[in-house]
Amino acid sequence: GPFTDVVTTNLKLRNPSDRKVCFKVKTTAPRRYCVRPNSGIIDPGSSVIVSVMLQPFDYDPNEKSKHKFMVQTTYAPPNITDMEAVWKEAKPDELMDSKLRCVFEMPNENDKLNDIDASKSAPVLNTSKQDGPMPKPHSVSLNDTETRKLMEECKRLQAEIMKLTDENRHLRDEGLRLRKVAHSDKSGSPTALALRDNGSNSLPSLLVVIAAIFIGFFLGKFIL
C-alpha cells in the first residue's frame, strides 16, 4: 500500500511430478484481482509464473484477512483438448487444493517517520522578509462586494460634503446680505441679526466636520 495503483504479486507454481498437471487459480474477490494466466498446464519438472494484479481501491483495514486464493491442480489426461471439460469431469478425490490468504501490507511507522523527517529537513525557499510591510490578516478577508460597498459609501459621503459646502457658502452669502440690510435698516437690531447669522453658519460647519470624520473612518477601514 497505499493501493492507489495496480499492485502485482507473482505466484510461482512448480510441478515436481513426472506427469503433466492442470492448474486453476480461484479467488474470493474476482472483481478486485486480475490473474494471468488463471489456468493452464505445467510440464513435468517445470514451473510457471502467475501474475496476480490487485486493482486500485480504497484501503479498509477490516479487509486485510478476507481475500483468499485457491490453486486447484489435477493430473492432465492424455490427449487433452478441452480444459473446461477436464475440470467438469474431474472427481473430487483427483483434485488437489492449496489455499492462500491475501495480506495487505502498508508502510510501517518507521518509514512514515523517515518521510516526515526528510520533509522537515528540506530547505525552505526564500524565507527572508519582503520589501514592505506584510499584509494584515484581515485585509485578505475583504471580498469584491465589501470593497464595492466601501467605495460607494465614500462617494456618497464625498457628495454629501460637497452639498454641505455649497449650503455653507450659500448661508454665508445670505448672512452677508442680511448684515448689509441690518446696517442699512436703522430700526433693526444688529445684535439679533448677528446672532442669527452666527447660528446659521455654525450648523453647516458642524455637519461638514461630522461628514469628514465619517469619510475618514470609512477610508481608513478600506485602506486597512
pLDDT tens profile 169-213 = 888 888 788 877 777 765 555 554 454 555 555 555 556 566 666
Domain boundaries, the chain: 7-101, 148-181
Round to whole Å and give the CA distance between 34 and 148: 59
CATH fold group of domain 7-101 = Immunoglobulin-like (2.60.40)
Instruction: Give the model confidence (pLDDT) of 22-57 as tens digits.
Output: 999 999 999 999 999 999 999 999 999 999 999 998
Mapping DSSP to helix (H, G, I), strand (E, B) and coil, where does residue 93 land?
helix
Burial class (CB in 10 A: 0-12, 13-18, 19+), 13: middle
Q: What's the pLDDT at 8?
A: 92
Closest CA to 205 of 171, 159, 173: 171
Round to whole Å and give the CA distance between 129 and 68: 59
